[in-house]
Amino acid sequence: MPELPEVETVRRGLIPALEGRRLLAVEVNRPNLRFAFPDRFSERLTGQRIERIDRRAKYLLLRLDGGETMIGHLGMSGRFSIEVDGAEAQPGDFVYAAPAKPKHDHVVFRAEGGVVVRYNDPRRFGYMDLFPTETEAGHPVLAALGPEPHGNDFSGPYLSTALAGRRTPIKAALLDQSIVAGLGNIYVCEALHRAGISPRRAAASIPGVRAERLATAVRAVIVEAIEAGGSSLKDFAATDGSLGYFQHRFRVYDRLGTPCPSDGCSGAIQRIVQSGRSTWFCSTCQR
């Protein structure tokens, strides 16, 4: 499912269900997702109060009152759903849609107030770990991440410097989480189209004003997508079962053959493959 806007949407959905609540039980239904769960995963979570839920790039960070943080990544198909146990549900409670196939409910979190949060992930590319919060800066998956695309550290000058000397296509560079953290295939395609830059162009050939334009496009597409609740492909739903609607604003992603939406452009959207992944773009206005 998730790039940064979708993960942020999930975070916002989990907050009312979990923040301030203690975990009463955590069922782990298999030994691993993409990697093995850490030692005593369930035991270390049980009894902990979730003080806050943060996000870094595509990672969710659940801050526990015992001093550890649970980190989670949704991979390609991970999703959380929330239910409130019928007996404890109150009018107006966040009673949320159940996921499709229970056989892929790999982790079930039961919290105070009858809250049941299920992690469902058919492809199991997701990931969960626990670490002492004070060691966060050295955590292997977090240490090398670049700046958030809508944060103050991401700018035209930063991007220009980060891309210097890179022979790789700009499409691949923007997917590199150490350059900018949180973009995936959708938002890279969309940002390059907005910036009028070809996905095939060498990253190093985007200095100065073009880097400024690209950074602006990246920021804009991420901010708009967060505001829209992310993009819902297939049956993706946020934790509350609602759908993001940014997919209706896609200009190029999965739009092969449709007219280019750029003002005054007579091109049509094409699809190519780069590093084994689809890229959609307009070769008329993206140079």
Partner DNA sequence: AGGGGGACCTGTGCGC
Partner DNA sequence: TGCGCACAGGTCCCCC
- Applying CB under 7 A, the residues found at the interface with DNA are 1-3, 6, 34, 57-58, 73, 75-77, 100-101, 103-104, 122-125, 141, 166-169, 172-173, 175, 177, 184-186, 203, 230-234, 236, 244, 275-278
Which candidate, 232, 201, 243, places its Cα nearest to that of 96?
243
User: Minimum CB separation from DNA for residue 65, in Å?
Assistant: 27
Whether 141 contacts 73, CB under 8 Å: yes
Nearer to DNA among residue 53 and residue 237 (C-beta)? 237
Whose tokens are 């910036």? That residue is 195
Annotation marks residue 101 as catalytic: no
Annotation marks residue 2 as catalytic: yes
Q: What sign has the CA pseudo-torsion 188, 189, 191, 192?
A: positive
For 243, residues 6+ apart whose C-beta sits below 8 A from its C-beta are 229, 232, 236, 237
User: Minimum CB separation from DNA for residue 24, in Å?
Assistant: 29
From 11, 56, 58, 63, active-site residue: 58
Nearer to DNA among residue 86 and residue 101 (C-beta)? 101
Nearer to DNA among residue 2 and residue 84 (C-beta)? 2
| 192 φ/ψ angles, rounded to the nearest 5 degrees | -65, -35
Q: Which pair of structure tokens corresponds to residue 160?
A: 């220009």
Annotation marks residue 277 as catalytic: yes
User: Minimum CB separation from DNA for residue 83, in Å?
Assistant: 21
Annotation marks residue 234 as catalytic: no
Which candidate, 147, 174, 192, places its Cα nearest to that of 286?
192
User: Minimum CB separation from DNA for residue 121, in Å?
Assistant: 9
Nearer to DNA among residue 149 and residue 244 (C-beta)? 244
Nearer to DNA among residue 52 and residue 124 (C-beta)? 124
- The DSSP-derived string for 146-201 is ---TTSTT--HHHHHHHHTT--SBHHHHHH-TTTSSS--HHHHHHHHHHHT--TTS
Q: Which pair of structure tokens corresponds to residue 253?
A: 């992603």
User: Minimum CB separation from DNA for residue 209, in Å?
Assistant: 22
Catalytic residues: 2-3, 58, 277
